[in-house]
Amino acid sequence: MIPLSHYLIVSATMFVIGSVGVLSRRNAIIVFLSIELMLNSVNLTLMSFSSFLGDVTGQMLAFFVMTVAAAEAAVGLAIIIALFRRKQTVNLDEINIMKW
């Protein structure tokens, strides 16, 4: 049987890869994809705890995370489309009007 810690390590590794993507990439779409990666790694943690503890709450949370991710993707991509219409770019360094 695979121990719980192995699942947690996979999920932690994916989370950190996602956070590196968010921190280092400047393409808004890829930053968004990295955020999805981080959400999924958290889902893996929830699922492994749910399975190992025999409690369905973790799976429910993962289910709601997916629902929220769908809503987030719809609105987030709409924001990217609106930004692209205005500035003709998805480079996050060029979207800096609200930076001081």
Partner 1 sequence: MIESYIPIFIMIVGAMGFAVVMGKMNEFVGPKRPSEEKLSTYESGMEPVRSARERFSVKFYMVAMLFIVFDIEVVFLYPWAVSYKLLGTPGFITMFVFIAVLLVGYFYVWRKGALEWD
Partner 2 sequence: MTIESILFYVLSAGAVGSALFVVSRRNPVVAALWLIFNFFCLAGLYLSLHAQFIAVIQIIVYAGAIMVLFLFVIMLLNLGDERRLVEGVTPRKVVGGILSIAVLVELWYVFLGTPSIQHAALGNRATEIGTVEHIGAQLFTKFLLPFEVTSLLLTAAIVGAIVLAKRKLD
Binding site for partner 2 (CB under 8 A): 1-10, 12-21, 23-27, 29-30, 32-34, 36-37, 40, 43-44, 47-48, 50-56, 59-60, 62-64, 66-75, 77-82, 84, 90-91
Give the one entry of partner 2, partner 1, none that residue 65 binds, where binding means its C-beta sits below a cut-off of 5 to 8 angstroms depending on kind.
Answer: none
Smallest distance from partner 1 to CB 56, Å? 12
Is the Cβ of residue 15 or residue 58 nearer to partner 1 in the bound state?
58
The residue type of 7 is Y
The residue type of 89 is T
Q: Are 57 and 50 in contact (CB under 8 A)?
A: yes
Rounded-to-integer distance, Cα 4 and Cα 8, Å: 6
- Residue whose tokens read 């492994």: 48
